[in-house]
């Protein structure tokens, strides 16, 4: 068992533990407020943080499974892993810049928060840098990666219009109105695009370094 395998095994355990902990906390909160446990489960899947961390944990798990199953092959493709890297990076960036100032978690909530917004993004970004094959990303991928967050935005607004719950304050139509929410969504989409382009650029640069080293070794 090499370092990469141990690293991903640790990441799998950390990722799924954080997600299960957060799910239990949301269910507990729902019960304490007099709502159904199903309400907590539904809110769990309302957050982009949760969805991006599910993708991260799934990618790590797929690497450990080593199966020929189509889903496993899909999750371990560099283009898919690049998109997941963008999503979990935005999760961390938005939390650090905007959401961190809005609440003060304690106890187990603090542990889940640190794991989902700091530890897992770092673990995944390092995995992408160190272990993911480079040279397969294109500039068009940065545009394709926008589909998932755009789909999430549409779903969040639709769900919020029905139930009055918006997972993030910057898309709260009830407080801000549709014009402000649309503007905020455009800024976030631009952030996704910029981060995606940065990942593509890093991928290209790292691949060129690999090629240069190979050529240098041949000359020597």
DSSP codes joined into one string, 78-107: HHHHHHHHHHHHHHHHHHHHTGGGG----H
Query: Mean pLDDT in the chain?
Result: 94
Q: Give the Cβ contact number of residue 71 at 10 Å.
A: 11
pLDDT at residue 217, as a whole number = 63
Q: Give the Cβ contact number of residue 63 at 10 Å.
A: 22
Residue 34 backbone zone (phi > 0: left; psi -120 to 50: alpha; other: beta): left
pLDDT at residue 218, as a whole number = 59
DSSP codes joined into one string, 117-176: IIIHHHHHHHHHHHHS--S---HHHHHHTTHHHHHHHHHHHHHHHHHS--SSGGG-HHHH
pTM (two decimals): 0.94
Q: Reply yes or no on whether the pLDDT at 105 is more than 70.
A: yes
Q: Reply yes or no on whether the pLDDT at 66 is more than 80.
A: no
Q: Reply yes or no on whether the pLDDT at 29 is more than 80.
A: yes
Beta carbons of 72 and 55 less than 8 angstroms apart: no
């Amino acid at each position: 068992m090499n370092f990469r395998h141990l690293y991903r095994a640790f990441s799998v355990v950390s990722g799924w533990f954080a997600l299960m902990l957060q799910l239990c906390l949301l269910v507990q909160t729902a019960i304490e407020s007099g709502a159904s446990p199903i309400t907590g489960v539904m809110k769990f899947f309302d957050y982009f943080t949760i969805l991006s961390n599910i993708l991260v944990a799934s990618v790590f798990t797929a690497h450990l499974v080593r199966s020929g199953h189509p889903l496993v092959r899909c999750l371990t493709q560099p283009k898919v892993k690049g998109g997941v890297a963008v999503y979990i990076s935005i999760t961390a960036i938005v939390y650090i810049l905007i959401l961190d100032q809005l609440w003060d978690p304690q106890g187990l909530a603090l542990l889940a928060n640190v794991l989902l917004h700091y530890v897992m993004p770092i673990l995944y970004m390092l995995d992408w840098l160190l272990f993911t094959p480079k040279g397969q990303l294109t500039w068009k991928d940065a545009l394709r990666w926008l589909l998932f967050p755009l789909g999430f935005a549409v779903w969040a607004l639709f769900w919020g219009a029905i139930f009055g719950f918006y997972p993030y304050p910057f898309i709260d139509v009830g407080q801000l109105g549709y014009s402000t929410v649309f503007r905020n969504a455009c800024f976030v989409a631009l952030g996704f695009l910029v981060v995606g382009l940065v990942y593509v650029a890093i991928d290209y640069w790292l691949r060129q370094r690999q090629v240069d080293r190979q050529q240098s070794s041949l000359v020597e």
